[in-house]
Amino acid sequence: MKMVKRKFLLKAQALRTEEVPRAHLPAFQSAQNAPADLGASEMRYRRLFETARDGVLLLNPDTRKITDVNPFMTQFLGYTHAEFVGKELWEIGLAEDRADSRKMFRALRRTHFVRYENLPLVSSTGQARPVEVVANLYEENTHQVIQCNVRDIAARKRDEQALVAAKNESCRQASELQKTVTERTARLWETIAELEAFSYSISHDMRAPLRAMRGFAEILLEEHSAQLDLKALNYLEKIAAGAAHLDSLIMEVLTYTHVLNAEVKLEAIDLNVLVPQVIKTYPELQNDNVEIQIEGPLPKVLGGGASVAQCVSSLLTNAVKFVPPKTKARVKIRAEAVETDIRLWVEDNGVGIAPQDQSRIFKMFERVGRAATYEGFGMGLTIARKAVERMGGQIGVESTVGQGSKFWIQLKEATL
Amino acid sequence: MNAPILLVEDEANDVFFMKHAFKLAGILNPMQVAQDGQEAMDFLAGDGGFADRNRFPLPSLVLLDLKLPRVMGLDVLQWMRGQAELRTVIVIVLTSSGLGPDIDRAYELGANAYLVKPSSHDDLREIAIQIKQFWLELNRSPAVRLKFASLMANGA
C-alpha cells in the first residue's frame, strides 16, 4: 500500500503534460513496473487527476509546500508545474500570509478537513481568481499528505452578482412603480374630488335657471292661459317640457358621477323589502296601465342598499317605458340562483331590443334606434351597469324584437 | 298673527316661486327672506337692522337653502343649534342637492326635514301644501308653545 502511494506521487512528477490525451494512456500504463491490475487502477485515478476540470494540489504538511498540481491548476493560475512545486499556499493567495498558512495547517492536522467557500487565488499575472477550496489531510502510513481540491467559482460568482444586481434592479423598479402608483392615485383622488365639487356646483347652479324656465312657463300656463292663444300655450308647453328634460338629464349625470365615486359598503339586502319599496317610490310604476308581478319570495343579495335600489329602479322604469301603444305594461320580477350568485330578472312585454343594440344600451349617452321610440333610454342602464360593477356584479339582457325584454342583474347571494 | 317663516334663499326666482307656491297653498304666515347665510344669522340673532323683535319676530319655521353666499346653509344650521333661543326652531332644508352626504350632515346638525327643490312649479306647490298641512297645522312646534307662554306671562 505504501509502495503504491509513493509511486503515485513519483509518477505524478513524471507525467508533466498540459493534457493527457486518451491515446497516451496505454503507453503510460506499459511504462510502469507495477502489477497490471494496480497499474490500471493507478492509471484510472491518474487520469482523473490529469483531466479534472477542478484544480488539485498536493502538499507536504511538514514543509507546507506544494508537491504536485494537476494541469487544470497550471492553466488556471498560469504557473508551470515546475513553478508550482515548492510554492507555499500564501504565495498563490490560498492563505493570506505565512502565519495564516501555518494556522490552516494546524487546523488540518487537528480536524483533517478545512473548507473555504470563497477565496481569491492570485494568478501569475496578479489576477484574482475566486475559488472554493476543500483541503483534506490523509494518513499515508508513516506520513501525511494534504490534498486541496480547488473549484473555479468565477462563473458562479458572476451569476450570483448578476442575480443580486437583477434583484436590486427589480426592487428599485418595484419601488419606482410603487411611487408612480402612489403619485397617480393621489392625482386621481384630486381629480375625483374636483369632479365631485363640479357635480355639486352643477346641481345647484345649472338647475336654478332651469327651475326658472320651467316654473315661469308653468305659471304662465296655469294663471295666464286666458290671455294667450293656443300657439303661445303650445310654445310654453314646449319650453316647460324642454326644461324638464334637461333637468332630468342633469340629475342623471349627477347620479352617474355619484355612483362612480361613492363608497359602496356591501351588506345583505333583502329584495323582498327593497323591490316593493322601489315600486312605491316611483309613480310611473303604480300607474293603472302597469302591472308588476313579483314571483316571490325573493332572496337576499350582497350589495349597497342605494346601489341595488338604483339598479332595480332603472330596470323597472325601463320595463314600463317601452310598451307598444295602448298596451298594458306587464312586468315580472323573479330571482334565479346562479352558482353562489343571485340573478334578478325583470321581464317586460315591451317592444324588445334588436340584437345589435343589446350591448349599446348599457353605454353612456347612446340612444338606440329613433329617439322618439326610445326616449329617455339614455343613462338609466348606464348608471345601473356602473352601480352593479361597483358591487362586483353583472348586468345583461335577453330580448327579441316584438316579444319584450328580460333584463337581469347578478349579485352575490347574502348567506347570513 | 302667525309667526313668520324665514326663507333663506339667494336665488331671486326661487324666492318668487316659493312665495307664489305658499300663496297658492293658502299659507298666511308672513315670509321674511334672508339672501345669504350671514343675513339669516343676523336676522335670527336680532343683530344689525333686525334688533326690533316686534318688527322682526323670531320665525316658527326656517326654510334653509344649503348653497348660499357668505355663510353656507349647514353652517347657519350648526350655529342655530348652538344658540339657546334657536335650538328648537324648526328648520327644513330646501336645496338642489340630493346628495347623501349633505342629507346625513343636515340631520346630524339637527335639521327637522330635508327637501330637494323640484324643477316643476306644480311640485313646489305640492310641497308648500304639505308644509302647511304638516308643519304649520298638524305639528306642535316648540316655538309656538313659547310664544303662547310669553303671551300668558304678559297677560298675568
Could you say which DSSP state residue B60 is in? S
> How far does CA A165 lie from the centroid of its chain?
22
CA A345, A346, A348, A351 dihedral sign is negative
Count of residues in chain A = 416
Q: Of residues A12 and B113, which shows the higher confidence score? A: B113
Q: Which single residue is written with the C-alpha cell 324648526?
A: B90
Q: Give me the total of CB pairs closer than 8 Å, taking one residue from chain A and one from chain B.
A: 49
Residues A379-392: tens digit of each pLDDT = 788 889 989 999 99
Work out the pLDDT band at A14, boundaries 50, 70, 90: very low
Is residue A49 classed exposed, middle or buried when 0-12, 13-18 and 19+ CB atoms within 10 A define those classes?
Answer: buried
Domain ranges of chain B: 5-155
User: What pLDDT, on the 0 to 100 scale, is given for residue A46?
Assistant: 87
From A341, A333, A362, A345, select the one nearest A411 (Cα to Cα): A341
Averaged over A85-114, what is the pLDDT?
Answer: 86
Q: Do B99 and A218 touch (CB under 8 A)?
A: no
- pTM here? 0.56
Residues 6+ apart with CB under 8 A from A206: A250
From A357, A307, A349, A332, select the one nearest A408 (Cα to Cα): A332
Residues A238-248: tens digit of each pLDDT = 999 888 888 88
**Interchain CB contact of A200 with B (< 8 Å):** yes
ipTM value, please give it: 0.79
User: What pLDDT, on the 0 to 100 scale, is given for residue B156?
Assistant: 38
**Interchain CB contact of A247 with B (< 8 Å):** yes
CA B71 – CA B42 distance, rounded (Å): 11
Report CA-CA distances (Å) from A243 to A69, A237, A240, A367. 101, 10, 5, 20
Q: Do B17 and A207 touch (CB under 8 A)?
A: no
**Interchain CB contact of A264 with B (< 8 Å):** no
User: What pLDDT, on the 0 to 100 scale, is given for residue A96?
Assistant: 80
Among partner residues A200, A211, A218, which is closest to B13 by beta-carbon distance?
A: A211
CA A207 – CA A15 distance, rounded (Å): 104
User: What pLDDT, on the 0 to 100 scale, is given for residue B127?
Assistant: 95
CA distance A255 to chain B (A): 9
Work out the pLDDT band at A364, boundaries 50, 70, 90: low
User: What pLDDT, on the 0 to 100 scale, is given for residue A289?
Assistant: 86
CA distance B99 to chain A (A): 8
Q: Do B67 and A204 touch (CB under 8 A)?
A: yes
3-state secondary structure chain A: CHHHHHHHHHHHHHCCCCCCCHHHHHHHHHHCCCCHHHHHHHHHHHHHHHHCCCEEEEEECCCCEEEEECHHHHHHHCCCHHHHCCCEHHHHCCCCCHHHHHHHHHHHHHHCEEEEEEEEEECCCCCEEEEEEEEEEEEECCEEEEEEEEEECHHHHHHHHHHHHHHHHHHHHHHHHHHHHHHHHHHHHHHHHHHHHHHHHHHHHCHHHHHHHHHHHHHHHHHCHHHCCHHHHHHHHHHHHHHHHHHHHHHHHHHHHHHHHCCCCCEEEEHHHHHHHHHHHCHHHCCCCEEEEECCCCCEEEECHHHHHHHHHHHHHHHHHCCCCCCCEEEEEEEEEECCEEEEEEECCCCCCCHHHCCHHHCCCCCCCCCCCCCCCCCHHHHHHHHHHHCCCEEEEEECCCCCEEEEEEEEECCC
Count of residues in chain B = 156
**Interchain CB contact of A233 with B (< 8 Å):** no
Query: In this structure, are residues A116 and A87 in contact, taking their beta carbons and an 8 Å threshold?
Result: no
User: Would you tell me how many other CB atoms lie within 10 Å of the CB of residue A307?
Assistant: 25
Domains and CATH numbers, chain A: 2-155 (3.30.450.20), 264-412 (3.30.565.10)
Residue numbers in B near A306 (CB within 8 A): 100
**Interchain CB contact of B78 with A (< 8 Å):** no
Predicted confidence (pLDDT) at residue A20 exceeds the cutoff of 70: no
CA distance B7 to chain A (A): 16
Residues A72-98: tens digit of each pLDDT = 999 998 999 998 899 888 888 878 888
Work out the pLDDT band at A22, boundaries 50, 70, 90: very low
**Interchain CB contact of B124 with A (< 8 Å):** yes
Give me the residues of A, 33-92, that contact B with CB < 8 A.
none
User: What pLDDT, on the 0 to 100 scale, is given for residue B68?
Assistant: 86
Residues A204-234: tens digit of each pLDDT = 788 888 999 999 999 999 999 999 999 999 9
CA distance B10 to chain A (A): 11
User: What pLDDT, on the 0 to 100 scale, is given for residue A18?
Assistant: 42
**Interchain CB contact of B97 with A (< 8 Å):** yes
Predicted confidence (pLDDT) at residue A372 exceeds the cutoff of 70: no
**Interchain CB contact of A151 with B (< 8 Å):** no
Cell numbers linked to B97: 342637492
Q: Do A218 and B120 touch (CB under 8 A)?
A: yes
Most confident of A214-218, A321-325, A412-416: A214-218
User: What pLDDT, on the 0 to 100 scale, is given for residue A9?
Assistant: 39
Predicted confidence (pLDDT) at residue A326 exceeds the cutoff of 90: no
User: What pLDDT, on the 0 to 100 scale, is given for residue B18?
Assistant: 94
Cell numbers linked to B117: 327643490
Could you say which DSSP state residue B111 is in? -
Residue in chain A nearest B67 by alpha carbon: A204
Low-confidence ranges of chain B (pLDDT < 70): 1, 143-156
Whole-number mean pLDDT of chain A? 83
To the question of domain B5-155 being in CATH 3.40.50.2300, the answer is yes
Helix (H, G, I), strand (E, B) or coil at B117: coil
Q: Per mean pLDDT, which range of A56-70, A142-156, A245-259, A277-291 is the poorest? A: A245-259
> How far does CA A297 lie from the centroid of its chain?
42
Give me the residues of A, 283-312, that contact B with CB < 8 A.
306
Among partner residues B96, B118, B124, which is closest to A204 by beta-carbon distance?
A: B96
Query: In this structure, are residues B155 and B148 in contact, taking their beta carbons and an 8 Å threshold?
Result: no
Report the residue of B10, B121, B125 to disrupt the A interface, i.e. the one with the largest count of A CBs within 10 Å.
B121
